Amino acid sequence: MFDSLKNKFSGLVDGVSSKKITEKDLNKILEDFELSLLESDVSMKVSEKIVNELKKKLTGEKISLTSNKKDFVKIAVEETLTEILEYKKYDIFKEIEKKRKAGEIFSIAFVGFNGTGKTTTIAKFGKLLSDKGYKVVIAASDTFRAGSIEQLCLHAEKIGIKVIKHNYGADPAAVAFDAINHAKARGIDVVLIDTAGRSEMNRNLMDEMKKLIRVSNPNMKIFVGDSLAGNAVAEQAEKFSEIGLDGSILTKVDADSRGGAALSISYITEKPILFIGTGQGYDDLEPFDPKWLVERILP
Ligand code: GDP
Ligand code: GDP
């Protein structure tokens, strides 16, 4: 996992730790490094940020004063990556429990591009909550993509969760509203709202999404990003930030050999990655730990 990124950072550490290095050498190495990060799906903005931070930490003077250059560079890399990945911790289960104790509903809107694994992720999260003893309902607010409602119902049936649905073409906000009312009437704890996968070209879909958010006023808006989507995931994260995201879930991490998507999403949304998807099964959802990723990227 993440071999590509790890190789790039190993190369950097070896390059900078080589016997004599001038300011000019360092700049050249970091310039090349910036380009190599792009190859590992680290977006332009994040690559720039990483290189600028490393430049600050690795100025010639500081390096020449240390005896163990290799460790010095490694520490600089570790600090930089951790800074990018670590946002204020958000304990979603604690927040849900708080609401439940107060007799209130916790609602989450899941947003993201088609094919990222959004529907599967909702099912995984729903199952996780059910396993913890919460009562869950899902709102089929993707009334746009053909087959989306059936697909969602199929997942929901397998994990034993009810879906509130209307017909295709119905107002997604109305579906979410109904699901929340249903939850209130039946003492359900959590409402998970599926939404249509937007592309930035689809302005009207984005407006529809904003209406859904306005009407259902979810406690959280979670961006679901595909770690295999390459640089596109950074653009998507940026686009969806418009609605004010609270966190992300990164899918298909089990199949990702590059590792850049997590850095990009974290930096762009400025919100924590809450979970990672690690397979196609309903139990393949794990809490995300920045340290876990940094350890895998570090040389
Ligand atoms: P949606 O269009 O965003 O709702 O995407 P789906 O939930 O239908 O998922 C698209 C495909 O990605 C399906 O084949 C899922 O099984 C697969 N998928 C979702 N999450 C993961 C994951 O974490 N790992 C792997 N390997 N596959 C996943
Ligand atoms: P995407 O192309 O992967 O973003 O998939 P979408 O599901 O967002 O869009 C699928 C198709 O529907 C595209 O060809 C869009 O041009 C078209 N489309 C986009 N927005 C709308 C809309 O609000 N209503 C309708 N009827 N079609 C739309």
Ligand 1 pocket test, candidate residues 149, 150, 251, 278, most atoms within 8 A of CB = 251
Whole-number Å distance, alpha carbon 202 to ligand 2 midpoint, is: 6
Those residues with Cβ within 8 angstroms of residue 238's Cβ, 6 or more apart along the chain or in another chain: 268
Ligand 2, atom 2: closest residue by C-alpha: 199
Looking at residue 243, the DSSP 8-state letter turns out to be G
Whether residue 278 is annotated as binding a ligand: the answer is no
Verify that 67 and 39 share a domain, yes or no: yes
Give yes or no for residue 117 CB within 6 A of ligand 1.
yes
Verify that 48 and 178 share a domain, yes or no: no
- Residues 9-68: pLDDT tens digits? 888 888 888 767 778 888 888 999 998 888 888 999 999 999 999 998 887 666 666 678
- Banded pLDDT at 4 (limits 50, 70, 90): confident
Verify that 133 and 220 share a domain, yes or no: yes
Give yes or no for residue 199 CB within 6 A of ligand 2.
yes
Ligand 1, atom 21: closest residue by C-alpha: 252
Are the beta carbons of 26 and 60 closer than 8 angstroms? yes
| Residue ranges making up the domain that contains 38 | 3-85
Verify that 200 and 261 share a domain, yes or no: yes
Pairing of β 273-277 and β 190-195: unpaired
Verify that 117 and 245 share a domain, yes or no: yes
pLDDT at residue 288 is higher than 60: yes
With tokens 């809450």, the residue in question is 274
pLDDT at residue 200 is higher than 70: no
Domain containing residue 15: CATH number: 1.20.120.140
Verify that 80 and 221 share a domain, yes or no: no
Verify that 196 and 51 share a domain, yes or no: no
The pTM assigned to this predicted structure is 0.88
Q: What is the mean pLDDT of the chain?
A: 91
User: How many structural domains is the chain composed of?
Assistant: 2
Q: Among residues 58, 85, 112, which one ends one of the domains?
A: 85
Domain containing residue 128: CATH number: 3.40.50.300
Which two tokens mark 167? Answer: 């017909």
Strand partners, 221: 109
Verify that 271 and 160 share a domain, yes or no: yes
Distance CA 297, CA 259 (A): 8
Looking at residue 165, the DSSP 8-state letter turns out to be -
pLDDT at residue 136 is higher than 90: yes
Verify that 18 and 145 share a domain, yes or no: no
- Residues 90-121: pLDDT tens digits? 899 999 999 999 999 999 999 999 899 999 99
